[in-house]
Amino acid sequence: MKYLLIEDNPELAHAVMTRMKIDGHIIDHADKIEDAIAFSETGEYDLILLDIMLPDGDGRDFLRRHRAGKRDTPVIVLTARSQVSDRISMLDLGADDYVTKPFDHAELQARCRAVLRRNAGAAQTVMQMGDVAFDPVAGLLTVQGREVTLRNKELRLLEILMNAPGQIFPKQKLVDRLFSYDDDVSENAIEVYVARLRKHLGGSQVSITTHRGLGYRLDHG
């Protein structure tokens, strides 16, 4: 998954980013609203973690703008405010959930998973296509009954494709989803990961089709 973290506390931001990366996620970081808007309007994210008190304004202003722009990326608010009225106001503005500071990373991860499941409209994490089963939370791929070990980027690429079977993903869009702005990578990296996934899926009912000049699509059958 690719997250956007909007947090001005450098120690907390570093701690969250470190743990998220260990868990296999890609994460961009903005420490003020101006940068957060630039990230959110030019990149694609699966989830946004939003602090409220920022040096150039209130995080709720970002949330209002985000929802007014018809963007449905789920948002979890990171807040030190414990009043029920404050939490209700953030939910009313369009937040999907909130975590009260200080928080345990395990709780944050659990809330992230719950919000992403709700956003996908699924109560279960396992994706099934023919003789292929994939659990992105557990990082487990099963092909024709055998378990396959995936590297992190392979796992995240398969997750993107399986969330939208039949949709063509341009290489640049996949680069944006798999890497942060700080990563210096080319579209050739996508070709490498696609080739690896094809080997893992070989002989199954699921395949990755190349559409020349357009991108890649996951097909069943």
Q: At what angle do helices 188-201 and 171-178 cross, to 10 degrees?
A: 90
d(CA 147, CA 145): 7
pLDDT-flagged residues of the chain (< 50): 122-123
Helix/strand/coil (H, E, C) string of 145-161? CEEECCCHHHHHHHHHH
d(CA 186, CA 130): 32
Cβ neighbours around 64 below 10 Å, total: 13
Nearest Cα to Cα of residue 40 among 18, 62, 15: 62
Number of domains within the chain: 2
Please check whether residues 136 and 81 belong to one and the same domain. no
Please check whether residues 143 and 106 belong to one and the same domain. no
Cβ neighbours around 85 below 10 Å, total: 8
Please check whether residues 99 and 8 belong to one and the same domain. yes
Give the predicted TM-score (pTM) of the model: 0.70
Spatial contact of 99 and 76, defined as CB atoms under 8 Å apart: yes
108-127 pLDDT, tens per residue?
A: 988 898 888 787 664 456 88
Single-letter amino acid code for the residue at 169 = F
pLDDT attached to residue 139? 77
Please check whether residues 177 and 116 belong to one and the same domain. no
Q: Domain range spanning residue 192?
A: 127-220
Please check whether residues 137 and 213 belong to one and the same domain. yes
172-186 pLDDT, tens per residue?
A: 989 888 888 778 888
Please check whether residues 10 and 112 belong to one and the same domain. yes
Please check whether residues 13 and 100 belong to one and the same domain. yes
Domain boundary among 75, 99, 120: 120
Q: Looking only at Cα atoms, what is the longest distance across the chain?
A: 56
Please check whether residues 149 and 214 belong to one and the same domain. yes
